[in-house]
Amino acid sequence: MEATNKISKFLFTWIVVFLVWLAFTSTFNIVEVITGIIVSFIIAIFNFGYFTNMGLKSFSPMRVLYFFQYNAVFLVALVKSNLNVARIVLSPKLPINTGIVEFETKLESDFAKMVLANSITLTPGTFTIDFVDSTFYIHWLDVKVTDPEEVYREIAEPFEKILLKIFN
């Protein structure tokens, strides 16, 4: 179990590093590809322990599908948030109603929490200040609700629904 886990982690790291190499060289020239395979092999040997927790399981089709769904939701939210900031910044009265709210997340792994925190930072009017264990503290430009449950529904739910499917 331990050994297969390590091999799967190593293969995952190797494949990802090699794909990055291919993207950076942008060519299928045979010399470049062989160099890439060797270099990414060497890098993967040293780094696979830190790079991933799940290994090849990350490539399962459902997970990749949810990943794309997540990106779509995220990009829409990013554009919305920018229009929101533009509206606030350009209106002469500066209509903000700031406050710091909190909510509890259901995510467990650190990486998933990091992704959620980043997404919240880039979505309309909200900004992650800190999280302690599973409590997130959010700076909100336009406070609508303060109860943690409702805050969770308002801010985190659209992302967390998908993240729970990806990471659990």
Partner 1 sequence: METILEILGVIFISIGAAFLLLGSIGILRMPDVYSRLQAGTKASTLGTLGMLLGIGFFEPAWFLKIFIIMIFVILSNPISSHSIARGSCRSGIKPKLKETVNAYRDAMESCEESIKKDDK
- Which parts of this chain interact with partner 1 (CB under 8 A)? 20, 22-24, 26, 78-79, 81-82, 85-86, 88-90, 94, 96-102, 114, 117-118, 121-122, 125, 127-130, 132, 135, 137, 139, 141, 143, 146, 148
- Choice between 2 and 133, CB closer to partner 1: 133
Least distance (Å) between residue 68 CB and partner 1: 14
Q: Which lies closer to partner 1 via its Cβ, residue 29 or residue 82?
A: 82
The owner of tokens 């409590």 is: 135
Q: Is-contact 106 160, C-beta < 8 A? A: yes
CB 62, min distance to partner 1, A: 22
3-state SS class at 131: strand
Distance CA 78, CA 62 (A): 24
CB closer to partner 1 out of 56 and 141: 141
136 close to 102: Cβ distance less than 8 angstroms: yes
Q: What is the largest CA-CA distance in the chain?
A: 63
